[in-house]
Structure formats: C-alpha cells, structure tokens
Chain A
Amino acid sequence: MDSARLEFLRGTLDVLILKALMWGALHGYAITNFIRRQSGDTLLVEEGTLYPALWRLENKGLLEAEWGLSENNRKAKFYRLTPEGRRRLRHEVKAWEAYATAVGKVLGATRLPVAEEIG
C-alpha cells in the first residue's frame, strides 16, 4: 500500500503543485500545507519529494520563482505559475478528470457485460 501510494504521488505531485499555485505565489511550505489541508490530511507530501519537484517545474519553465518576505517576515522563495504552467494545469486537470471518471466507471460496474460486447 505504501509503495503504491508513492507511485501515485509521483505522477500527481506536479499537478497538485500547479493547482496550489493557481491563486497566486506561494512558498514551498505553504504548498505542503495547502495539499495536506485540501486533501483532508490524506496526502502528506514529503519535503524530500516536494522541493525537487518544484525545482524541476521551475527548470521546465512551468513555474517562476522570486524571493520575497513570508508572513513571519522571513526571506522565502515564492513560486508562481507561468502562462505555460497555467496551460499545463488546465490540460492536466482535464486529463485527470477523464482518467478518474473512466476508473470510476470500471470500479462502479455491477455486472459482467454481455458476452458479444466484450468479445
């Protein structure tokens, strides 16, 4: 179960980060908080995974970073979406929804379809 969750996270972490930044710039710590709270404490993002993911997204040009002051008046690196990142988010959300619907349909099946239909 644990390893399965990890795999799942790797595939989705990027899109979760992009989503977290939808409303404006956030620093890394705020992003973890957002994901944790929004998922009702189900998705716990490890820092060791989050930061490399952020840097990769920055390197790909989906995010841009800027130094600013945090709520507690500390110097922090804030990330925001680039137009490219915003486009990617839209695309990924759509893909996720289609995927989830499809998986949901399969899992929600109540009986075996008639034979000629599958084969």
Chain B
Amino acid sequence: MTPVPFWRRYTRFFGPDPAADVKDELRFHLETKTDDLVRQGWDPKAAREEAERQFGDLRSVQRIGQRIGEKTERRRRFADYWTDLLQDVRYTFRTLSRDPGFAVVSILILALAIGANIAVFSVVNTLLLRPLPFPNSQELVWIAPPPSGCGWSCATYSADAYEEFRDQSRVYQGVTGYEAFTIADNFRLTGRGQPESATAIMVIGNFFQVLGVQPAMGRLFTDDDARGKDVALLANAYWRHQFDADPAIVGKAIELNGTPVTVVGVLPASFDYGAVFSPGAKVDLFVPLNLDHERTWGNIVTLIGRLKPGVTVAQALDDANRVAPNIYFSVKYPETLGRYKGSLVPVPLKNYVIGKLRRSLIALWFAVGTILLIAGVNLSNLLLARAAARAKEFAVRGALGASRGRIVRQLLMESLVLSSVGAAFGLGLALMLIAGLAHQGSLALPLLSTLRIDGQALGWTVLIAVLTAMIFGLLPGLRMASGNLQAVLKDSSSGAGLGRKHERIRAGLVISEIALACVLLVSAGLLLRSFLKVLDVDLGFQPDRAASIRVAYDDSAPSDDARVAKRTVIFQEILERVGALPGVEAAGIADFLPLGPNREWDTPEPQGKTFAPGTLPDPLVYVVTPGFVRAMGIRLHGRDFTWADGPHSERVVMINASAARVYWPGEDAEGKILMRGKEEDHVVGVVDDVHEENVESGAGSQIYYPTTQQGPDDAQLVVRTSLPPAALAASVLHALRELNSNQPAAEFRPIRAIVDRAVSPRRFFMLLVAAFAGLGLLLATLGIYGVISYSVTRQTPEIGIRMALGASTGRVQRQVLGSTLRLAGAGLAVGTLLAFVVAKVIASLLFATSPWDLPTYLGMAVALLLVAVASGYIPARRASGINPMEALRNN
C-alpha cells in the first residue's frame, strides 16, 4: 500500500462522509475487476458489464455499507472522545499532584461547601419535598380552626362533633383523630418489677386505617376495640427495647396502671407518631379512644381526614362549610348547634406538620447555596491565579496545536476532578452530619427521625458537583483560551500582561465573595439577635433552677368530696416531704405546665358586667396547689391559694394579667368575682402572663383553680431549688416512692430543658446559618489573602524599586493594606446593599428584630474589615520585607 498523496488527503476536508467512502470503495472494486477482465481479453464495455453482473445488487450493498459506515463513524467519534477524556483525567491528576497544596485547599473548601449542601438538601428533602411517610399522603388533611388564642381546646373537637362531621361529610374516605391532651408518661407499665412510665396516645379506632399504616405484627384496632376493650398497639421501638422484640407478643397481656391490657399488634418501624404529630416526642403505645366515655369532656379530638381520590382541599373546605352549621358541640344541648361554624378548615396534613418551618428551611437552603457560590468563586480565584502561572504552559500547548476548546475542556476537567473529589469527601461529611441530626431527640423538628441520605440526595450531590465545577472552571478556562499566545510566549516574566488583566477579574471575584459573605453575616447576625431576644423573652416564669416530675397518685373515691379530701392529703404529704429535702426552696403541683399541652373549660364572666356575646375569652385552665406559682417563679399580686381553701369554703381563683385586663380594664381585679354559671369564683390573685404555647407568641387569658376545689387532670410536681436540678433527681424520686410505691421512674426534667426544647428549631436554624456565615467569612478571607498575596508577588520588582528610592517599610505596608481595604470596602458596599434586600425577605423569620438592625450591620462591617486587615497583613509584612537588591536582581 502506498500512502495517499498529499493533495488527495483533503477529500474529506469537511468531515467524514461514510456514503462517499462506500461509493469510492465499490467503484475501485468494479474498475479493478474490469481491468482484470480486459487483460483477459474482454472488450472494455463488456468487461464492465460482466463486472457489474458478477457484483449483483450494487445499490443494496451500498445501502448496507452506508448504514454500517455511519455506525462505525459514531463509534469512532465516541472512542476518540473517551480517549481524550482519559488523557485529560490523567493529565489533571499529574498537574494536581505537582501542586498538592492547591489541591488540598480546594478539595477542603469544596468538601465543606458540598457537604453542607448535601446535608441541608437532605433536611429540606425530608421535611419539605418528600411526601409524608404514608401511602397517598397527599390525600391526608388536617382539619382545625384557624389559629386562635385559646390553645389546644380551640383546635380540637368534641366526640359528638367528630361523629357528626364524619357522617355528614361527603368528601372523605375516612375521618379519624386522636386525643390531643395526652401528657408524656401518662401511663405506668406495671407488673414487671419497678413500674415504668410509658406514653400512650388514645386514637380513634380507625386511626391507622385512615393513615394507611399496616401493622408489622398482629392487627390494628377494630370498631369493637373502640367500645371499651382493653387492648393496645405497641410502637415498634417500644416493642424492641421494652419487650426485647418478643416475637410472640401479640395476644399477650401487659399491665397498664395495674389493668391487664391485651397487645393486639406491633406497628412498623416506619411509623413514627412523634415525628409527624408531635415533633421530638416519644410515643410508646396506642390505645383505642372510647368516644362514649369522652362525650362529656368537650373538645378533645383532633381531626384527620383522608380525602377521596381526586378531591381537592378547596372542595373539602366547601364541604366542611356546608356541614359545619349542622354540627352540635353536644347533641344533648340543641343550643350548641353550629358552634363549629367557620372552624372546620381542612389543610393538607403536610402543611400542618411543616407549618412555619417552610420559610426557615427555604432560607437555610439559600444560605447553604450561597456558601456553595462563595466556595465556587473562591476556587475560580485560585484557579485564575494558577492559570496565570500556567499561561506559558497553555500557550505552548496552543502553539503545538491544542484547540481552544481542548484547553477549556482540560481546565474544566481539572475543576470537575477537584469538585468530584470534594463532593466525595463532602458526602462523607454530610453522612456524619445527618447521622448526628437524625438522633437529635431534643430537637423539636418534625420527621427528623426519617432523615437519611437517599438516592435523591446522591443525585443532588452529582448535580452540585458538576454545577460547581462549571461555576469555577469555566471563567478561568475562557480567560486562558482567549489569551494572546504570542504575547505570552514573548513575555519573559511569567505572564505579566495577562497577570494585570487577571488581577482585575480576581479583584471582582473577591469583591463578590465578600459581598456574599456580608449577606450571610447579616442574616446570621439578625437570626442571632432574634434568638437572643427570644431567650430574653419574659416567659412569666423562671425556668432556671427549677425542675418537674410527673407524680402518680390515686384519688379514686366514691364521692367528689372524698376524692378531693384524699387528693389533698396526698398532695400535702408530697409537698411537705419534698419541700423538706435539702436544697428545695419551693414545691408545688399543677396539672399542666407552660409550653406543654393545655386546655380550656368554659367562658367565665365578670360579675355585674355585661359583654357582647363572643367577646369574652375562653381562658386556659391550670389546676394548681398552693406553692405552685412560687415554685414556677411566677410573679403574683395578691395571695396564693392555701390548703384552707377547701371544697366547702369560698371558691377562689387566680387569673393572669391579660385576663384581668379583659375582665376589669383599668381596675384592680383582686377581690372581684368571676361567674361560671351559678358558681362565684373570687379572684384572690393576679399573676403575670405565662407563655403557654410557645416562647415567641404572647399569652392569652389564663385562669388558675386550686386542686382543693377543682379536679386536676394530672399532677406535675415542680421543685425550685438552690442546687443544680440534676442533683435533686434521686432524692425527689426516692421521696415520691416512699409515699407511693407505684410511682414510676419518670424523668426529672429541668424547666430550662422545656424552654430549650421549645426554642430548639430557632436555635437549630440560627446555629446553621451562623456556621455558614463563619464558613463564608473564612472563604472570603482566603480570597482576599490570595489576591493580595499574589499581587505582592507580582509587584515585587516594583516594590523593590520604590524601596531602593527611599520608600519606608511602613509606607509599603500601608499601601498593601490600603489595597486590601479597598477590596473589602467595595465588597462591603455591595454586600450591604444585597443584605438590605435579603434582610427584608427573611424579615418574617426574625423575632423582635428589625431587618435594619444597626448593631448587626455594624458588627458585620467590623468583623469583615478586621478579617480583611488580618488577611492583608501577612502579604504586607512580606512586601515590606522585600530586599530591594534581590528584587531587582531577580527580574
């Protein structure tokens, strides 16, 4: 074979053409065959015909050839691409290993940024994007009135209302609910040595069927169970740790509060009641709610419905509005018809569960995205610096025939390799973060226990790795590829011409980095201020140095009077015994504590005054013993209850300041009388407003009754102590056990922990955003340092000359610091403007803090400038240490 001569090499100048190739090849065949035949003595024309005849169907062979040719061409192109790619990767690893410092720093930056992004994405995905962990969860709705001031009692419905609503609504496959006034540790698991506390939720019989939860073992509740059978379903975790995952538990009887209860089933591990309905709460078992027992109890159940397929929430609302006027609070009292008008509002269950967290999550997502952006800009900067140093290398490669596309691809490959390795480490980091978060029991965020890195999070990882590589690789790539090759090759110093241009771009990058860091710092600052304000909120009680424990008592007696007497003796004994313990300053008992569950009873009216119907509040009710307000640290004007306020003496109450303002505006409420029907309640004291539901919203009306005159639902012993609460736990429990051997080993909870738990979501978001701001600041610092340090290196000869001409060290230093501050100042200016916009957007996340909070902005500016000076100081020192002689000689 002779090579094709030079001029014929260009026949495929415009790229490969498989069709023409096939034609050429076959033509050659036919011509050669004809030649051979002619040589054998054929007539040329006949020879040609014979050759074609022998060949057969030329066209169809051509077609086949064309098809196969195209396929081959595709394959070849792919193979070439792949070979180039592998070459790029190999080259990348070689160059990166030559500069391990750069590689390590960039991978570290990327790992932090990408790791934070994956972790936050997983949280957002779990809480916001993923559906609730129930089949067809989009059909589930939460039915509740619009938010109001009277707590849970106004967010729930009576047993009668539930049944009427269920029967009259037409849009639901099923309506269910649970008893909303469950207190933690409301049951005692007995008959197994020391009694132990357990939390049981009473659910309407069809609760699990409506949610679509299948039992892991045994069966769910039946309608029959709901008519007073002593049966229970165990939560999976409880079954595991309390019953050692006994595979034969179904059908066995366990003892709750001394009564044998049959276990009918075990729920699957995937069902976590607390995660959905009561963030951070641990629920051990479920018992059926007997609606017939609850008819007289007023509002007690929440409503959850499963819509028929295709029914929208708006249609459900229409239906609820149609049904509401026909519903009785209690069918026994016709006048209660229509009480729920306007207060049956279905919302998607998911919205109820996530609620206000939505905004925080989105803000968090943006914050972490900003980190990624800063990291990207930072790397872009580092790569530009490197690119300037490598300008010669690229110029040579360009001169040797590498196309611009190829050089850009090479640079992109470098960033892709960096970001992939960074993403791999980031994934590890995120796995650790997520594992830690998922087991944060003290964090009151819903669905947290279902947190995990799933396929979607992995997809997100890949996406952001590629995206980051694009962000930080493309700019230096384009810059490099567009450089003037000859200029670079001619230039003796390492790319000085390019260097100056680069420096401008890099300065721009640093300014944007600082600006983004500003935004993060301001956001974090505002959230921090809000958090501090929240901690500073006057809760109406003193959470420090106090702790509570749930007390078990038995006041069963044939008559109300006997019950009161029995209870009073028990409470008095407990308070005497516990009050005598060393370190205890005050002790009291209440049935409900602030920031926990609550309820209201009815609408008391101030004696002798008339109010327009509907304007009087339904105050939240607390039934307390003497000493409770002191133990809780609630300020009191007037007198506390005493043991002398017996069942037959004058009825007494305490009300809070808000209630007093409503009942007797501008007057002293003490000594006034509240009417509950025919009952006269004498107001003996006015206490400060206590935050009953959460730390951030204010208090409504509250009323306190003595345990000696009204029946408490429960007993929470509160102890105020001069010692750390933990030191008292054992002696208090011991004292309670001596009085009542049935006292379970309940948790001795510092009141501060209750408050901490209530503010934990805010703390969580604040800490995260603060961490991101810190990271952003660090990255910005790195950016400033990089640019200044590089420009000092580049200006070494210039500085040398200036120093030789008599410039002092101080002056050189000042100059370098000056350019640092110029960068920081520009970034600060842009950043402050951006921060104004962002602050306005996150204003709804703030608490008692203005989005234009001056100290925050000042703090941010000072922090940034300090950091800028610090990062400019090292290069400045280096600049002033330049030896003029050496600098000049080296050039």
- Chains A and B are bound partners: yes
Residues of A within 8 A of B (CB): 24-25, 27-29, 46-48, 51-52, 55-56, 58-59, 61, 66-70, 72, 74-78
* Residues 47-100 of B at the A interface (beta carbon under 8 Å): 54-57, 60-61, 64-65, 68-69, 71-72, 75
Other-chain residue from A55, A74, A76 in contact with B72 (beta carbon distance below 8 A): A55
Q: Is B35 within 8 A of A56, CB to CB? A: no
* Residues 1-17 of B at the A interface (beta carbon under 8 Å): 1-5, 8
* Residues 601-620 of B at the A interface (beta carbon under 8 Å): none
Indicate the member of A52, A67, A75, A78 with the most B CB atoms within 10 Å.
Answer: A67
CA distance A75 to B12 in the complex (A): 13
Q: Is A77 within 8 A of B32, CB to CB? A: no
Q: Is B28 within 8 A of A77, CB to CB? A: yes
In the assembled complex, B771 has its CB within 8 A of some CB on chain A: no
Ranked nearest first, the 6 interchain pairs of A and B with the lowest CB-CB distance are A68-B1, A55-B68, A69-B2, A48-B56, A59-B72, A77-B25
Known: A28-B25, A48-B61. A55 touches B69 (CB 8 A): yes
Q: Is B75 within 8 A of A59, CB to CB? A: yes
A69 contact set on B, CB distance < 8 A: 1-5
Q: Is A51 within 8 A of B65, CB to CB? A: yes
Q: Is B71 within 8 A of A59, CB to CB? A: yes
Interchain residue pairs with CB less than 8 A apart (14):
A24-B1, A29-B32, A29-B33, A47-B29, A47-B61, A48-B60, A51-B26, A55-B68, A59-B71, A68-B3, A70-B32, A74-B28, A74-B31, A75-B28
Q: Is B54 within 8 A of A55, CB to CB? A: no
Other-chain residue from A25, A29, A47, A48 in contact with B1 (beta carbon distance below 8 A): A25
A28 contact set on B, CB distance < 8 A: 25, 28-29
What DSSP secondary structure best describes chain B's contact surface? Answer: helix
CA distance A56 to B67 in the complex (A): 10
Q: Is A51 within 8 A of B5, CB to CB? A: no
In the complex, the chain B residue whose C-beta lies closest to that of A33 is B36
* Nearest-Cβ distance from residue B80 to partner chain A, whole angstroms: 13
In the assembled complex, B554 has its CB within 8 A of some CB on chain A: no
* Nearest-Cβ distance from residue A87 to partner chain B, whole angstroms: 18
In the complex, the chain A residue whose C-beta lies closest to that of B4 is A67
Q: Is A77 within 8 A of B24, CB to CB? A: yes
* Nearest-Cβ distance from residue A115 to partner chain B, whole angstroms: 52
In the assembled complex, B21 has its CB within 8 A of some CB on chain A: yes
* Nearest-Cβ distance from residue A40 to partner chain B, whole angstroms: 19
Indicate the member of A27, A28, A29 with the most B CB atoms within 10 Å.
Answer: A29
CA distance A59 to B8 in the complex (A): 24
Other-chain residue from B28, B55, B71, B72 in contact with A27 (beta carbon distance below 8 A): B28
A47-B56, A48-B61 given. 14 additional CB < 8 A pairs? A27-B28, A28-B25, A28-B29, A48-B55, A51-B25, A52-B61, A55-B64, A58-B72, A59-B71, A70-B28, A72-B32, A72-B35, A74-B31, A74-B32
* Nearest-Cβ distance from residue A53 to partner chain B, whole angstroms: 10
Q: Is B1 within 8 A of A56, CB to CB? A: no
In the complex, the chain B residue whose C-beta lies closest to that of A44 is B54
Q: Is A77 within 8 A of B21, CB to CB? A: yes
In the complex, the chain B residue whose C-beta lies closest to that of A73 is B2
B21 contact set on A, CB distance < 8 A: 77
Q: Is B56 within 8 A of A29, CB to CB? A: no
In the complex, the chain A residue whose C-beta lies closest to that of B66 is A55
In the complex, the chain B residue whose C-beta lies closest to that of A67 is B4
CA distance A6 to B558 in the complex (A): 107
CA distance A18 to B2 in the complex (A): 21
CA distance A46 to B21 in the complex (A): 20
CA distance A77 to B26 in the complex (A): 9
Q: Is A51 within 8 A of B61, CB to CB? A: yes
* Nearest-Cβ distance from residue B76 to partner chain A, whole angstroms: 9
Known: A47-B56, A75-B8. A52 touches B68 (CB 8 A): yes
Q: Is A46 within 8 A of B56, CB to CB? A: yes
CA distance A27 to B30 in the complex (A): 12
A27 contact set on B, CB distance < 8 A: 25, 28-29
CA distance A23 to B841 in the complex (A): 77
A70 contact set on B, CB distance < 8 A: 1, 28, 32
B57 contact set on A, CB distance < 8 A: 48
Q: Is A68 within 8 A of B32, CB to CB? A: no
* Residues 790-823 of B at the A interface (beta carbon under 8 Å): none
Q: Is B32 within 8 A of A52, CB to CB? A: no
Indicate the member of B25, B26, B75 with the most A CB atoms within 10 Å.
Answer: B25
In the complex, the chain A residue whose C-beta lies closest to that of B9 is A67
In the complex, the chain A residue whose C-beta lies closest to that of B57 is A48
Q: Is B1 within 8 A of A78, CB to CB? A: yes
Other-chain residue from A24, A29, A59 in contact with B28 (beta carbon distance below 8 A): A29
* Nearest-Cβ distance from residue A106 to partner chain B, whole angstroms: 36
Q: Is A52 within 8 A of B31, CB to CB? A: no
Q: Is A76 within 8 A of B56, CB to CB? A: no
Other-chain residue from B5, B54, B61, B68 in contact with A56 (beta carbon distance below 8 A): B68
B60 contact set on A, CB distance < 8 A: 48
CA distance A43 to B192 in the complex (A): 94
Known: A51-B25, A55-B69. A68 touches B75 (CB 8 A): no
Indicate the member of B28, B54, B57 with the most A CB atoms within 10 Å.
Answer: B28
CA distance A25 to B4 in the complex (A): 14
A75 contact set on B, CB distance < 8 A: 4, 8, 24, 28
Q: Is A47 within 8 A of B32, CB to CB? A: no
CA distance A75 to B65 in the complex (A): 18
Q: Is A52 within 8 A of B1, CB to CB? A: no
Known: A48-B61, A69-B5. A76 touches B68 (CB 8 A): no
B72 contact set on A, CB distance < 8 A: 55, 58-59
* Nearest-Cβ distance from residue A95 to partner chain B, whole angstroms: 25
* Nearest-Cβ distance from residue B72 to partner chain A, whole angstroms: 4
* Nearest-Cβ distance from residue A36 to partner chain B, whole angstroms: 12
* Nearest-Cβ distance from residue B455 to partner chain A, whole angstroms: 35
* Residues 202-237 of B at the A interface (beta carbon under 8 Å): none
B3 contact set on A, CB distance < 8 A: 68-69
* Nearest-Cβ distance from residue B547 to partner chain A, whole angstroms: 78
